[in-house]
Each structure stands twice: as structure tokens, then as C-alpha cells.
Amino acid sequence: MAYDVVVLGSGPGGYVAAIRASQLGFKTAIIEKESLGGICLNWGCIPTKALLKSAQVANDIKHAESYGIEATGTPKFDAIIKRSRGVADKMSKGVQFLMKKNKIDVIMGFGKLTAPGKIEVKDKDGKTQVVEGRHVIIATGGRSRELPTLKQDGKNHRLPRRYVAAAATQKHDRCRQWCYRC
Ligand SMILES: Cc1cc2nc3c(=O)[nH]c(=O)nc-3n(C[C@H](O)[C@H](O)[C@H](O)COP(=O)(O)OP(=O)(O)OC[C@H]3O[C@@H](n4cnc5c(N)ncnc54)[C@H](O)[C@@H]3O)c2cc1C
């Protein structure tokens, strides 16, 4: 199938670019290997803020007395996580709706750029198709990289102070665009 614009990756970088391309009159497709909305909507910004909201409610209940309210509550972690997953799923479905509304073809599968303008997409059943685009936007996101001097062991989360300072600066700059609480 041939398109004017093919976007690889449907996170906030990809799906917004796809919508704009379609609005500008380009025949557009978006390729996603996992869930529409990328890390932000499915695992990052949104579900973590839903968890934070539960923490805030628990904290408010803890201090309810100082507001003249008598209240008690015990956090139910299963329910908290279920709510967070529900919020994330809703947001991902929202992106699905936006793709449909903007007439963007959604192609689910792992995309690999094999030649200029050609992306080979393998779906979860192993079926392969080639998607062609006059323009290709790579929006596959970023992943953390292990520092040579700081091996990840999945247990130890303590970082030397200088690494923490660098991470905090980046996070703050990014959060200013999105969050209302940072
Ligand atoms: C726990 C956590 C909390 C966060 N909180 C915030 C926050 O509060 N505010 C904030 O601004 N940012 C936050 N972020 C960062 C934010 O999630 C990212 O900046 C954002 O998701 C980047 O968007 P993106 O479109 O570049 O990439 P991604 O969201 O990573 O999307 C890339 C997409 O491409 C897909 N993909 C990758 N390779 C392929 C391939 N070969 N074929 C097909 N599909 C592919 C992936 O499955 C993914 O869906 C948080 C991140 C995490 C992990």
C-alpha cells in the first residue's frame, strides 16, 4: 500500500504528526507494534499520574480531620492499579478514535525501514507486508541506555548524586510542557 506519509510509532510524537499530515491533505498511515499512544499514554505520563491521584486521595483522607472531616480509608492496591490501567486504556482508545476521525490507516506490527520510503511490517502472527510512503516519519521513541559505569541489576535504584542532578533537570524541562503539578 502506498501513502504520502507513513509514521513509524504512535506515541505523542507519532500520532500528532500523523494527524497534522492528514489535516494537510496527505494520505497517511501509522505503524505501531504495541499500543496506540506509545509510552506516554500506556505506561508513562498518564498511568503514573492516575497512580499519583490515588496517592493524593489517600493523603487527603489521612489529613481529613484537619479540614473538619471525619474519614478513614485503606488503599486497595489492586483497585488502584486497575483504575490506572483503565485510564490508560481509555486514552489509547481515544487515539484510535482520533486516527479514524482523521482517516489515518493504523497498521499494527513491527516496522523496519528496508529501503528509502519502504517499511516492512511484521504483525503478531508473523505475517509481513510492505508499506510505502513518499515521506517517512520515524517516531519510535527513546529507551534508556545502560551506562558503562552503572550496570542495571533490576534491584539497586540508587544513583550517584551527579546522575540524579542531570535527570532531574531534563525531567523538569519536559514536565513544564505537560504537567500541572511538577
Ligand atoms: C514512567 C514514565 C513517566 C513519564 N511521565 C511523563 C510526564 O509526566 N510528562 C512528560 O512530558 N513525559 C513523561 N514521560 C516521558 C514520555 O512518556 C515520553 O517523552 C513520550 O512518550 C515520548 O513520546 P514518543 O512519541 O517520542 O515515543 P514513545 O511514546 O516511546 O512512542 C514510540 C512508539 O513507537 C512504537 N515503536 C517503536 N519501535 C517501533 C517499530 N519498530 N515498529 C512499530 N512501532 C514501534 C512503540 O511501541 C511506541 O508506541 C514519562 C515516561 C515514563 C517512562
Structural domain spans, the chain: 2-143, 147-182
> What is the model's pLDDT at position 151?
81
Q: What are the b/e assignments for 105-130, b being 16+ CB within 10 Å?
A: bbbebbbeeeeeeebebeeeeeeeee
| Dihedral angle, C-alpha 93, 55, 143, 128, nearest 10 ° | -30
Residue corresponding to grid cell 509510552:
39
Cα distance between residue 106 and residue 22, in whole Å: 13
The number of the ligand 1 atom at minimal distance from the alpha carbon of 109 is 43
Q: Is the CB of 133 under 6 A from ligand 1?
A: no
> What is the model's pLDDT at position 18?
98
Task: Tell me yes or no: is domain 2-143 CATH 2.30.29.30.
Answer: no
The structure's pTM equals 0.85
Local confidence pLDDT in tens for the 182 residues of the chain:
799 999 999 999 999 999 999 999 999 999 999 999 999 999 999 999 999 999 999 999 999 999 999 999 899 999 999 999 999 999 999 999 999 999 999 999 999 999 999 999 999 999 999 999 999 999 999 888 888 887 888 777 666 666 666 555 555 444 444 444 43
Q: Is the CB of 179 under 6 A from ligand 1?
A: yes
| Dihedral angle, C-alpha 18, 85, 33, 38, nearest 10 ° | 40
Q: Is the CB of 182 under 6 A from ligand 1?
A: no
Question: Distances from the Cα of 167 to the Cαs of 6, 63, 181, in angstroms?
Answer: 32, 32, 18
Cα–ligand 1 centroid distance for 63 (angstroms)? 35
Q: Is the CB of 12 under 6 A from ligand 1?
A: yes
Question: Distances from the Cα of 39 to the Cαs of 8, 32, 88, 164, in angstroms?
Answer: 14, 12, 10, 22
Cα–ligand 1 centroid distance for 168 (angstroms)? 18
